[in-house]
Every structure is written in C-alpha cells, then in structure tokens.
Amino acid sequence: MTMKITAYADRTSVAPEESINFMVNCQAKSFKADFVKLICGDLNPDGPGYKERPIKTKANGTYPGRRQVIHAGSFIQLEESEHFNSLESFTLQAFIWPTLPENGKQVIIGNWSQRNSNGAELSIGPQNSGLMLTLGFGKDKLEEFSTGKNFLSRNWYFVSATYDAKTKSVSLTQEALHNHAKINDSAKKKYKVHNHGMKNCARMATIGAKFLKLDKNRTVCQNHFNGKIDSPAIACRALNSAEIEQLKHRQNQSLMSTDVVAAWDFSKNIKSVNVSDVSSNRINGKLVNMPVRGMTGWNWDGDEMNWSHAPNQYGAIHFHDDDVHDAGWEVDVTLKIPKGLKSGLYAARLRCGNNLEEEDYVPFAVLPPKGKATAKICFLLPTASYMAYANEHMGTDAPIAQLLAGRLVEHQHQDLYRNEHREYGPSCYDVHTDGSGVCYSSRLRPILNMRPKYKSWLGGKGSTLWQFNADTHIINWLEAMKYDYDVITDEELHYEGVDCLERYKVVLSSSHPEYHSKEMWDAMATYQDRGGRLMYLGANGWYWRIAFHEEADGIIEVRRAEGGIRGWEAQTGEYYHSFTGEYGGLWRRNGRAPQKIVGSGFTAQGFDISSFYTRKPDSFKKPVKWIMSGVKPDEKIGDFGLVGGGAAGLELDRADVSLGTHPNAYVLASSEDHTDLYLLVCEELLINYPGLGGQENPLVRADLVFYETDNGGGVFSTSSIAWPGSLSHNNYKNNVSKITKNVLDRFVKNGPIID
Amino acid sequence: MEKNLGEKFIASSNDRELIAEFKRNPIGHHSPELQRLLNQFRGIPMKDKFCLLVIKPNRLWQLAKTSGVAGKPVQKLPKTFSSQSDAEWYIFRKRWKSLTGETLKP
C-alpha cells in the first residue's frame, strides 16, 4: 500500500499571528497545499455529509515534493570524545536483559564504522549466537569473537569483553544472573587476535544500536538492541576478572579514576533525555527516539515499586527497534495564522497526483488570540487522547479486534499503510516488536488515524468513527445550530492551566477525552469549582493518568499499571512515570475516579451496535425538568444515530456515589438493551462471575447525569461515546440534539443553572 | 482459506437455526448459541483472517485477509460487497464450510 503524501505539524494548536510548520513526505514532484476549516469529517452518505471550508492564506500554493522517511529505533548518542578514539586496548561491559535475542545482531555499545571496518562493538551475535565482540582493523578487515551461548529472552546477564592489543588477546564473559536449573548459558572465553593494530575511528559512539549514517542532521543507526541495558562502562585497558567485578559494582574508586573511560549511570536524571557518565570524563549522552527510562534494573529486588525511592535499582533503559519520537523531517510549508482568523478546527490539505487524487490532512486548532476568548463556548480538543491512540495497529494485529467489533474489521488505506510502515511508530495500545507495551507516544510524526474522512474499526456499525473524526460531529452540530465557539487543546490545558478555561462560560468535551495529566485534571476541577460549566459529550473520560515530558516536546507517557482495560500490562515495578515520577495508571487508582470530575465513569464497552436511553425519575424533578423539555416521558432517547445506530454505545459510563459521583447528582436517563458484546470493565471485577454482558448486567449502561458545582457551575454528562453521532439525525431535529441544546442554552446564560 | 476452525462436526437441526438467525441479523443481538459460534469464527488468529477494505464509505467494500505478521501487507481478494450484511453472510458461509464441510447456499 502506498500513500504518496504523508505529513505532520510541529504543533497541534496555534494562535493568530503565530506560525505552524508542516513537514511533508511527497513522492510526486510537487504538491498543492491549502487550508480548510473542518466542519464534518464523516463521509457516510447517510449522515450530514463531509464538510470543509477552504480558507485563503499566504501559504496556499504549490510546493516541491520530496521523500522524507522516518528512522525508527532508539539508542543513546554519546558526546564525541577523543577518549574512545584513542583507545588501543579496552574493556566493554554492561548488564543486559535481551527481549529478542534471536532477532539478528543487536548492538549493546560501540563506535563501529561500517565504511572501513573501523572501531569496536559489543553485541548480541546473529542467530542468538551469544555475546559478540567485533574488532575492526581498517580496509574491511574485521574479526568477530563470540561466546556461542544463546541468551534467554527476558533474563538478566552481565557481559564483558576485553581486548589487549599487546598480547593480541580477547576475553569474553557472559554471566547469567538467573537461577534456572540446568540451563548452561554462562561462558568465559579467550581468543587470540590475528590482526594487529585495531583501527579506532572518529565515528560516533552509541549505546543500543550501531551508527550507520547522518541524514540531514539526524543520526541514523542500525542493529538496534531490543531489551534493557544497565550500567554500561568502558575501561582503557583489558581489565582482569577482579577489576571487571569491581567496575560492575562501581566499587574501586582508584580504578574509576585511572582506567575507566566512561561509566554510565542510567538511574541518574531518569526524567531527562540526557544520560550521565559518572566517570571523571563525563562523556554524557542523549536519548534518540525515546527509549524507556525508569525501568527495573538488574538488581531490582521487588521491595520497592517507585523508582524515585530506590533509583539505584532502576538503572535500566529499555530500547526498542520501533521507538519513534521526533521524525525530524524538514519543513516544507509554514503557515502564519492570519490575524482575525476565527478560532476553530482547521487542517492543512495536502494533495498531489495528476488530479490531486492523493491527499493527506494535518488537523490543528486555531486558538483565540493569546489571553482572550472570542466566544462563550469552548470546545476542548483532546489531543493527548489522540496521541495515545496515534497510529494504533489493533485492526491488523489483534485477533480480538473482530470479536470486539462483532463483525469483520473494516480497514482504510491509512491502516494498510501503517501496517506496512511500522517506522511510523506504534500507539499506546500496541506492543513493541519485542512484545513490551508502548508507554510513550509522540505527535511529531504523521498520525494517520487522526484525520478527517477516516473510519476506525473501533467505531461501531455505521459511520464507524472513533476519536478525532467522531469529534467532528460535535463541531458540525455547533456550526449547524449556529453557536459561536472557540477551540483549545489538551496542551493549553496542561501548560496554561485553568486560565485557558476561565474565559469561557461553557466547555464542551469531545466524545472520548480519556487521557489527562495531573495539570489537566486540576485545571478542569478548578474551572468547575470557580463556576465553570462542563458538558461531557462522551465516555471513558478522565480515565488514564498521563505525563508530558518536561524537556522534550510533543510526547506523552502512559503506564498501564494495576487496573483498567489495557492493551498491555506494565511490568511489576514499572508503574511510575519516568517523565515525572508520578504513579501512573488509572485515575481511579490515583484516588480520582472519573465520577469525581464528571459524575460518571467507565463501566462497560462494546463495539458492534449502540442502544438508547430511557428517562429516569430524576428527569421529572422540577429543578432539572428543563433538560428534557420537548422530550416525552416514555420517549426513547437516541434510538438512532450514525455510530452504531444509537446514542448510547461503544464505551459507557455510569454514576456511582461510592466512586465520587456528587450525592445530589441527577441521573436523568440510563441506557439499556446493549448486546452481550458490551461487557463490564475489568476494574469492576474482583471475582469474575457469569453474566457480565449487556443483556444481563445492570452495570452495563450509560447514565445521563447533571449536577451543580460551587459558584454557579455545573456538569452535564452524556456518558456515551456514540452520543455525538446522533446529533445530526433528522436534520438535527431529534431528542439527542434537543437535550444537548437545552443544556447548552441554559449553561451559556448568566445566572444560576437551577432556578 | 482461513485456519481450520476445528474438528469437523455434523450440524444438528438446532445448529441449522443458527444459520437462519445469522442471515437475518449478522451484526447485533444474537442468541447465546449463535454468539458462541461467532466467537469461535471471529476469534481465530490473524494469519489469513478475512477482513474488509473500505472502497466507498458505507457503500462498497473489498474482501481481504490479514497476514498475521506485523508489517506484511494485507492481501486484497477479488470480491466486493455493496453491503456489510452481504460480506458477513459470505464469510459466515466460508467459515461454516471450514467447520462442518457443508456448503451453504448463498
């Protein structure tokens, strides 16, 4: 599958008079760039139809096309140092926890130069042939030495190699640190070297991969290591066994002062992209493509779960051959947002081909001018949640996808491209090549499932929408109903706090605002406490705790810790964010169940068809009966819609006072009659029991909730991801649209919500 | 063909009711018996597993199958459908054949 054009932007939100850059990979000679205001991204001919509105900008035009590629795979790029390149004899050592030892040669540390066979490298040999030392003698002469003992996957080993130029000898040590009986995978080997005068080189030294080339200032590596590396070190001579043992534990200060060239301690500055050499040479390094820090090391004993309490047991970095942070493409198009351009959802429309038949869209929010609001209503674009799902591969990879969807999985051309171009990087729903969970996700790469016109296999029968494109139904409704609104994103919420919300009378959420940092959570709670009004038009919101990196742009962290519906599970001891040191996982397990901030929280999911709500006694109570104005007492609410055929579907939330729903909250309506593919979420299961499906379990429902907050604030929650897909039914004349309008009109007015 | 779905068995008269039930409503509420059968059909591994490609949204789909190997292309097959129900019924018949050896009439 080819996509002749793919692109990303350096930011997801931009204010008037600021600039946004677009990086474009185009296989045609040229491409046309223009910009559109996005209204409705749903191509379903049974819905309101696709709507975009071109806007004139100075950046509209034709640009030369060029191929830009992503170099996936993480490693540490070490600062250049003459210490490496002047070594004649040496010792290389480290602890390693390989995860794919059978996957070809994987470099632990080295400064190898492919061009002339210069330098040295320590690696796992091809075909899992054990520890391997490669020495280069220049002019394509090299010698390789191996222990020949297979590594076991996911077990710790201590490895070392020495080279003595004078005696022309090599020694290798592969020491298994596991205690599996009758597994003989430790080895000590000595070899004679035939060539003399190892040629060192001025090539870049790297940990976790082998340097290949520079590509437009990006360092490109190959032979990526899959697994953990802990405490690598280099000495300037062939150490004896006792000295190697001392260096292993950093015990001999004299040795450290005189013979150690570098000794890296990954347990220092775990939050940083920089790694520290604790030898006197200070040959520090920098992470490329964000391998995972804060991981249990070779000496982790299980007594401590929090890396900040015992950092010395968290000296490992986990490298993956499919890690991606910043694709690092060159800028092709720069748009300066015109002064006066209305805040809203926009996209760069990038097209190529003879009839402009190949296209990619890069969506972004145009913010109101700095420090101002240009409307009373704000739509909060959940860019952190889009990042968590960025480029997910479940539809092509996961056998359960068809079970969850309850039908054949539908693929778009973007899905086929993502499947074949794994270098575009995985989502936090995927596992890496080595089966470990993906806990970081970046927006500095094309995110091909965050696009208008895109259908996601998760999105229910019908329009089959999920996340970004589903959320355009909210934008479409606001436009159709002629509401004036601004758009901001999760990153404004995270970095600016409550200030960015306080200017608005009402904030509308998306259909699925699932991922929140503490800063985002606090900002929303403060907004409500100060009288802000939130309409939560979705479900499974405020579910996972995330962290933004404090140094690196555009990347979030999710630790799938001890509860919740998880595409993978964090390893024991690895529940704390490396970016911040916070305990990760569900907000519910952080003392802040979603019910505390939106009155309802995740209770069930299913992805085949949606259902409807019926009114509950609270909806007839005098203080809130205006919400149901125009809805008959026995009328089914939302027994129609583009997402699964109903307004209650995909993921559902329920009110629960024991989890934090306001005791005075009104449960206005609840959904019913879900299929048995809708199952209770696993965090509710202490003892598993029969009858967890939608036809039997009373907890499989969406609750329509309203409650007041302090200072005139209020929260209205629809508790269903499918809700926005029903808004446009019957030309917006339907009870889902009516209820949404009743609440929004009341929320936007001055004065109390309840008379 | 997809992975063999299990030991061949002779469909009983009760099982035959599941065929009619599925044809009436391939996506949505099902009897527990039909759901068990569909769980078996739909839960098979990804190698050579049938899926659909969207040709025209909500109007035209092409049959395909996944490779089961990350990065290896999805294979397009020379069969298209103008409704999801048609596609579901076509694949149900293929999977029924694989399970029972019996060819169901279209």
Query: Taking CB atoms and an 8 Å cutoff, what residues of chain A touch B60?
Result: none
Contact B52 A608 (CB under 8 A): no
Interface test with B, best of A394, A402, A609 (most B CBs within 10 A): A402
- The answer to whether residues A107 and A162 belong to one domain is yes
CA distance A566 to A443: 21
Over residues A662-672, mean pLDDT: 98
Contact A198, A135 (CB under 8 A): yes
For residue B22, the SS3 value is: helix
Comparing alpha-carbon positions, the chain A residue that sits nearest to B41 is A403
- What's the domain range around A489? 379-748
Q: Residue A729's Cα: distance from chain center in Å?
A: 33
Per-residue pLDDT tens over the stretch B68-93: 999 999 999 999 999 999 999 999 99
Minimal Cα distance from B40: which residue of A? A403
Cβ contacts of B74 on chain A, cutoff 8 Å: 1, 396, 411, 416, 419
Collect all residues of chain A within an 8 Å Cβ-Cβ radius of residue B50. Answer: 408
Q: Is residue A262 part of a domain?
A: yes
What would the 3-class secondary structure string for A113-168 be? ECCCCECEEEEECHHHCCEEEEEECCCCCEEEEECCCCCCCCCCEEEEEEEECCCC
Residue A753, in any domain of the structure = no
Interatomic CA distance for residues A4 and A502, integer angstroms: 43
The alpha-carbon gap from A117 to the nearest alpha carbon of chain B, in Å, equals 31
What is the distance in angstroms between the Cα of B16 and the nearest Cα belonging to chain A? 20
Adjacent-strand bridge partners of A327 = none
Strands A714-717 vs A533-536: parallel, antiparallel or unpaired: parallel
Q: Which of B26, B71, B91 sits opposite A419 (nearest CB)?
A: B71
Residue A234 has which token pair? 């280099």
Nearest to A106 by CA among A91, A79, A126: A126
The 10s digit of each residue's pLDDT in A84-116 is: 877 889 999 999 999 999 999 999 999 888 777
Q: What is the DSSP letter of A356?
A: S
The residue of B2, B58, B81, B93 whose CB has the most chain A CBs within 10 angstroms, and thus the best one to mutate to test that interface, is B58
A680: tokens are 């209770």
Quote the tokens at residue A666.
Answer: 């009104």
What is the average pLDDT score of chain B?
Answer: 91
pLDDT above 70 (res A731): yes
Tell me: do A95 and A37 sit in the same domain: no
CA closest to A396 among chain B residues? B66
Q: Which of residues 587-626 of A touch B (CB under 8 A)?
A: 608-609
Average the pLDDT over A607-633 and give the result: 98
The alpha carbon of residue A695 and the mean position of all alpha carbons in its chain are separated, in whole angstroms, by 34
Q: What average pLDDT does the structure give for chain A? A: 96
Residues A488 and A432 in one domain: yes
A272 and A360 inside one domain: no
Mutate to test the interface with A, among B22, B33, B40, B51 (most CBs of A within 10 A): B51
Residue A399 and residue B49: Cβ atoms within 8 Å? yes
pLDDT at A205 over 70: yes
- What's the confidence (pLDDT) of residue A703? 98
The radius of gyration of chain A from alpha carbons, rounded to an integer in Å, stands at 28
Nearest to A407 among B29, B45, B88 (CB): B88
Maximum Cα–Cα distance for chain B, whole Å? 43
Same domain? A441 vs A558? yes
Domain end call among A272, A300, A319: A319
Check residue A341 and give its pLDDT: 97
By Cβ distance, the residue of A393, A403, A609 closest to B39 is A403
Burial class (CB in 10 A: 0-12, 13-18, 19+), A151: buried
Contact A399 B44 (CB under 8 A): yes
Which of A395, A403, A416 comes nearest B43 by C-beta? A403
**Boundary-marking domain end, from A374, A389, A407:** A374
Q: Which residue type, as a one-letter code, is found at position B6? A: G
Rg (C-alpha) for chain B, rounded Å, is 14
Q: Taking CB atoms and an 8 Å cutoff, what residues of chain A touch B49?
A: 399, 402
**SS3 of A714, please?**
strand
Three-state DSSP class for residue A712:
helix
Residue B49, phi then psi, degrees to nearest 5: -90, 135
pLDDT band, residue A203 (cuts 50/70/90): low
From the list A1, A412, A461, which residue is nearest B54 (CB)?
A412
Could you tell me if A37 and A91 lie in one domain?
Answer: no
Judge whether A163 lies within some domain. Answer: yes
What one-character-per-residue DSSP string does A369-434 give? STT--SSSEEEEE-HHHHHHTTT--HHHH-THHHHHHTSPPEE-HHHHHHHH-GGG---TTSB-TT
Give yes or no for A411 touching B (CB within 8 A).
yes
What is the distance in angstroms between the Cα of B20 and the nearest Cα belonging to chain A?
17
In DSSP terms, A365 is beta-bridged to A13, A345
Do A153 and A298 have their domain in common?
Answer: yes
Angle at A90 between CA A86 and CA A92, to 5 degrees: 120
d(CA A351, CA A349): 6
Domain contains A755: no
- pLDDT average, residue stretch A551-580: 97
Same-domain status, A34 and A173: no
* Distant-in-sequence, close-in-space partners of A659: CB < 8 Å, separation ≥ 6: A588, A593, A594, A595, A596, A601
Query: Who's near B81: CB < 8 A, 6+ residues apart?
Result: B52, B60, B61, B62, B63, B87, B90
**Chain B residue numbers touching A696 (CB-CB < 8 A):** none
> Which among A46, A398, A695 is the nearest to B58, CB-wise?
A46
Q: Answer yes or no: are the C-beta atoms of A50 and A42 closer than 8 Å.
A: yes
User: What CATH number does residue A343 fall under?
Assistant: 2.60.40.1930
Q: What is the pLDDT of residues A399-452, one digit of tens each?
A: 999 999 999 999 999 999 999 999 999 999 999 999 999 999 999 999 999 999
How many distinct structural domains can be found in chain A?
A: 3
What are the counts of helices (DSSP H) followed by strands (DSSP E) for chain A?
13, 44
Amino acid letter at A106?
Q
Residues A616 and A590 in one domain: yes
Residue A507's beta-bridge partner residues?
A378, A534
Unique residue bearing structure tokens 């074949």 = A420
**pLDDT mean over A510-518:** 98
Q: Do both A436 and A579 map to the same domain?
A: yes
Give residue-wise pLDDT tens across range B23-37.
999 999 999 999 999
Residues A395 and A519 in one domain: yes
Alpha carbons within 13 angstroms on the beta-carbon side of residue A299 total: 13
Whether residue A279 lies inside any domain: the answer is yes
pLDDT beyond 90 at A686: yes
Please give the pLDDT value at position A706: 98
CB contact A414 to B (< 8 Å): no
Alpha helices, DSSP H, located in A497-599: 499-502, 518-529, 595-598
What count of other Cβ atoms lies within 10 Å of the Cβ of residue A155? 18
In a domain, A754, yes or no: no
DSSP A79-124: PP-HHHHT-SSEEEEEEEEES-TTSS-EEEEE--BTTTTBSEEEEE
> Are residues B28 and A396, on separate chains, in Cβ contact within 8 Å?
no
Q: Tell me, what's the pLDDT at A194?
A: 93
Decide if pLDDT at B9 tops 80. no
In this complex, the residue of A397, A420, A608 whose CB is nearest that of residue B28 is A608
Residue A84 confidence (pLDDT): 80
Residues of B in contact with A420 (CB under 8 A): 71-73
User: Distance (Å) from the C-alpha of residue B52 to the closest C-alpha of chain A?
Assistant: 5
Identify the bridge partners of residue A141 per DSSP, sorted by sequence position. Answer: none
What is the pLDDT, as a whole number, of residue A144?
Answer: 96
Is 80 exceeded by the pLDDT of residue A198? no
A232 CB-contact burial (10 Å; exposed 0-12 / middle 13-18 / buried 19+) = buried
Continuous segment of H or E residues that includes residue A76? strand A75-78
Indicate whether A565 belongs to any domain: yes
Q: Output the pLDDT for position A89.
A: 93
User: In chain A, positions 432-451, which contact chain B (CB-CB < 8 Å)?
Assistant: 433
Residue A663 and residue A530 in one domain: yes
Residues A308-321 have pLDDT tens digits of 999 999 999 999 99
Per-residue pLDDT, averaged over A491-514, amounts to: 98
Helices and strands: H and E segment counts in chain B: 3, 3
Got the DSSP string for A288-335?
A: ES--EEEE--TT--SS---TTT-GGG--EEEE-TT--S---PPEEEEE
Q: Which residue of B has its CA nearest to A606?
A: B28
CB spacing of A397 vs B39 below 8 angstroms: no
State whether B42 and A403 contact (CB < 8 Å). yes
CATH code assigned at A129: 2.60.120.200
Q: Is residue A211 part of a domain?
A: yes
